[in-house]
Amino acid sequence: MRTRDGSGCVPFVSPSVGFHSIRDSVTLYLLFKFGRKEKMKKLLLVSALVVLAVCLSAKATIILDDFETNDSLGYWQLKCTTANVAVYGSEAGLAGTVGGTRNAMFNANNISSSLYIGDGWADLSNGSSKYSLTELTYNAGGAGLDLDLTSGTKFSVNTWMDHLGYQKTSVLRITLNDSLNTAVVSKIWTTYLSVGDYANYDFLFSDFISNNPSLDLSSIDSIKLYMETDMSGDYAMVASFTTDAIPEPATIAILSLGGLLLRRKK
């Protein structure tokens, strides 16, 4: 069975502020404020919440597209009906897709080629085609994402090889747009060693800034994921598209929950 790798919460150590120094500072402050004996439960609860918030902020992964579908068939398809003529489609109301909408374009030089999305995969079925281009756009249905990526460092694209009839390199590409500026980063999608191999490709935010220093990572309106290849066959699938950027409200919500629990105990 094909499964997508998850990432757990592991201890976070920063070059400037270590995990243990944060924990110890919080503990000393609370000991001073509440006293050792009477408020020990309160101290432990708040300490645990702070540590949890730091850990989640540092290590959690946000899924930009889980490649699920609302289609009653269990998959969503774009099929090439005319060689070298692009076909377009869109699906809205997607809980596991950033902005709730996925816009897709698929182009191939053979009418037997298709793009399938569903069950956690974007399946590029090239048939006997020698070329195909897939473009997935995330822009909240045209309204703009207004996505803040400044707390993260990268996008990650996880891929899986299903067929090795024609072993050639391909291209993965991500484009970011902040409504005024655009930056592009590409990766060579290399030949796999065997069927069933996974490969993960990281797109560093710093590379987008190097490409275009004017890009505003705090207000990204659209993200485009491109997959371009000249391989034939049902050859590969994108298994996940994620980022490590964490919205600040997630941390605030954890600490707010702790405050509510403490208030109820009074």
Per-residue pLDDT of the chain (266 residues; tens, 9 = 90+): 333 344 333 333 333 344 444 545 555 554 455 555 555 555 455 455 444 444 544 456 789 999 999 988 888 999 888 988 999 999 999 999 999 999 999 998 888 788 999 989 898 876 655 688 899 999 999 999 999 999 999 999 988 766 554 456 678 899 999 999 999 999 987 655 566 677 789 999 999 999 999 999 999 999 999 988 776 555 567 888 999 887 555 434 444 444 444 445 44
What is the pLDDT, as a whole number, of residue 150? 94
Amino acid found at 143? A
If we measure between CA atoms, which residue out of 46, 45, 51, 66 comes closest to residue 18? 51
Give the model's pLDDT for residue 117: 94
Q: Are 62 and 246 in contact (CB under 8 A)?
A: yes
- Give the per-residue pLDDT at 171: 85
| DSSP character string of the chain | ------------B-SSSBHHHHHHHHHHHHHHHH-SSTTHHHHHHHHHHHHHHHHHHHH--EEEE------TTSSEEEE--STT--EEEEE---TTBGGG-EEEEEEESSTT-EEEEETTEEEEE-TT-S-EEEEEEESGGGT---B--TT--EEEEEEEE---SS---EEEEEEEE-SS-EEEEEEEEPPPSSTT-EEEEEEEHHHHHHH-TT--TTSB-EEEEEEEE---SEEEEEEEEEE----HHHHHHHHHHHHHHHHHH-
Which pLDDT score is estimated for 25?
A: 56
- The pTM of the full predicted model, rounded to 2 decimals, is 0.71
Question: Distance (Å, rounded) from C-alpha 116 to C-alpha 161?
Answer: 15
Q: What is the pLDDT of residue 7?
A: 39
pLDDT at 132: 84
Distance CA 213, CA 24 (A): 38
Structure confidence at residue 158 (pLDDT)? 87
Q: What is the pLDDT of residue 229?
A: 78
The predicted structure's pLDDT at residue 236: 63
